[in-house]
């Protein structure tokens, strides 16, 4: 009996961790799909919410749409399916987060952090789902879009925290506390960079929607007082991010070889270099759509890995068992 009970908890914890990890990966996928929606200008592919052109399942032809309620001249089959796919992925994420939350009830006493972290992820996905509807109803109002993206990234970090806390026996890496002092500022700067990048995107969204000028002209026209300042600051801060990551690598060399924090710092540097390379293609190669999607996905992955590094460096050494 005691043997079975001792094995039961690790098995349940491992199952919960796999579910939370699957939810985290799916949420990152949703960030990519959401970016595809914006790149393709499909945000209003379904002009209403939660229905799509007044239907619970997308209409196969414009003749199935009530012309008295909708402007059928805006009907675009490809954009409609892109937006609808985004919604379906969002629903799937919602169900996964709900399943994670329900499964966390079994740990409410012994590991309350898992329960409250899962609850936070569930609350975020519900609120962000509602906000997604408001984005459509507002006609893609810029400020709401930025908030929608910020909450999605926040949900990613919360899920990362849950996955990390669900490990059976965390092990502290000697010397990682010094790395933590560099990891936290880098995470904050990267988060600001992501939000500024979203604001830059808002300045070119009208061109995506209207299609008034070629893609390669979008950045050149982004020189209003606000848009130009944010764009230039965004580019300059990328050098700050590179410098911080190199300092991170230098500090990580003091850690044991093969330790998780040391490995994560190298992944972070690789993601930053890839992110900057993709950013260069956006500016100088006419903003190809795949690069726009990849730019955001890499940014989300970078935030995720930097937050994971903070969690790994914050681990406490195992507590000694009390003597009998």
Distances (CA, A) of 64 to 45, 69, 84, 85, 180: 15, 12, 17, 20, 58
Q: Coil, helix or strand for 233?
A: helix
CB 205 within 8 A of CB 135: no
Residue 279 lies in a domain: yes
Residues 184 and 308 in one domain: yes
Domain boundary among 121, 145, 169: 169
With respect to residue 2, please indicate whether it lies within any of the assigned structural domains. Answer: no
Q: What angle do CA 143, 138, 232 make, to 5 degrees?
A: 25
Query: Does 112 reside within a domain?
Result: yes
Torsion sign across C-alpha atoms 248, 249, 253, 256: positive
Domain boundary among 144, 169, 194: 169
User: Are 16 and 163 part of one and the same domain?
Assistant: yes
- Do residue 162 and residue 18 come from a single domain? yes
> Same structural domain for residues 138 and 250?
no
161 shares a domain with 16 = yes
* CA 300 vs CA 162, 199, 205, 239, 293: distances in Å: 17, 16, 20, 18, 11
Decide: residue 10, CB within 10 A, 0-12 exposed, 13-18 middle, 19+ buried: exposed
Residue 324 lies in a domain: no
| Burial track 100-125 (b if 16+ CB lie within 10 A, e otherwise) | bbebbebbeeebeebbebbbbbbebb
pLDDT of residue 103: 93
Same domain, 13 and 154: yes
Do 204 and 117 share a structural domain? Answer: no
- Clarify whether residues 155 and 189 are in a common domain: no
In a domain, 56, yes or no: yes
Are the CB atoms for 261 and 173 separated by under 8 Å?
A: yes
Given 110, 138, 169, the domain boundary residue is: 169
* 282 occurs within a structural domain: yes
Tell me the C-alpha to C-alpha distance, in Å, between residue 295 and each of 144, 283, 292, 305: 20, 12, 5, 15
205 and 57 inside one domain:
no
Is residue 119 within 8 Å of residue 104, measured between CB atoms? yes
Mean pLDDT (10-residue bins), the chain, 324 residues: 48 88 89 78 79 86 84 85 87 92 90 92 89 72 75 89 81 79 90 78 61 56 56 79 88 86 91 88 75 84 90 69 42
- Asked whether residue 178 falls in the same domain as residue 128, the answer is no
Residue 296: which CATH number? 1.20.120
Residue 52, SS3? strand
pLDDT recorded at residue 265 = 92
Q: Report whether 219 contacts 235 (CB < 8 A).
A: no
Give a yes or no: residue 323 inside a domain.
no
Residue span of the structural domain in which 79 resides:
8-169
What pLDDT shows up at residue 321? 39
Angstrom distances, CA of residue 247 to CA of 25, 140, 142: 29, 40, 35
How many domains does the chain contain in total?
Answer: 2
> In the prediction, which pLDDT does 2 show?
42
Q: What is the predicted pLDDT for the residue at 170?
A: 67
- 46 and 164 fall within a common domain: yes
The C-alpha atoms of residue 142 and residue 205 are separated, in whole angstroms, by 8
Residues 151 and 264 in one domain: no
In a domain, 126, yes or no: yes
């Amino acid at each position: 009996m005691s043997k079975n009970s001792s094995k039961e908890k690790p098995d349940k914890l491992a199952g919960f961790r796999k579910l939370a990890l699957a939810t985290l990966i799916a949420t990152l996928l949703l960030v990519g799909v959401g970016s595809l929606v914006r790149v393709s200008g499909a945000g209003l592919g379904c002009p209403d919410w939660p229905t799509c052109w007044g239907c619970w399942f997308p209409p196969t032809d414009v003749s199935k749409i009530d012309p008295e309620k909708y402007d059928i001249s805006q009907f675009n089959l490809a954009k409609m399916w892109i937006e609808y796919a985004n919604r379906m992925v969002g629903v799937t994420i919602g169900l996964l987060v709900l399943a994670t939350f329900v499964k966390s009830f079994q740990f409410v006493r012994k590991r309350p952090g898992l329960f409250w972290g899962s609850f936070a992820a569930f609350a975020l996905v519900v609120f962000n789902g509602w906000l997604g509807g408001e984005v459509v109803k507002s006609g893609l109002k810029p400020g709401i879009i930025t908030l929608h993206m910020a909450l999605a990234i926040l949900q990613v970090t919360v899920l990362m925290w849950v996955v990390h806390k669900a490990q059976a026996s965390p092990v502290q890496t000697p010397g990682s506390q010094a790395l933590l002092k560099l990891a936290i500022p880098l995470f904050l700067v990267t988060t600001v960079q992501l939000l500024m990048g979203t604001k830059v995107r808002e300045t070119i969204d009208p061109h995506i929607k209207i299609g008034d000028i070629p893609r390669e002209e979008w950045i050149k026209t982004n020189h209003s007082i606000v848009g130009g300042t944010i764009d230039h600051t965004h580019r300059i801060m990328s050098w700050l991010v590179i410098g911080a990551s190199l300092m991170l690598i230098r500090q990580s060399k003091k850690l044991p070889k093969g330790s998780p924090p040391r490995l994560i710092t190298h992944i972070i540097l690789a993601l930053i270099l890839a992110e900057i390379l993709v950013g260069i293609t956006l500016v100088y190669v006419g903003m190809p759509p795949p690069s726009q999607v990849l730019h955001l996905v890499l940014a989300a992955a970078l935030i995720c890995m930097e937050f994971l590094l903070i969690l790994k460096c914050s681990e406490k050494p195992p507590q000694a068992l009390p003597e009998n």
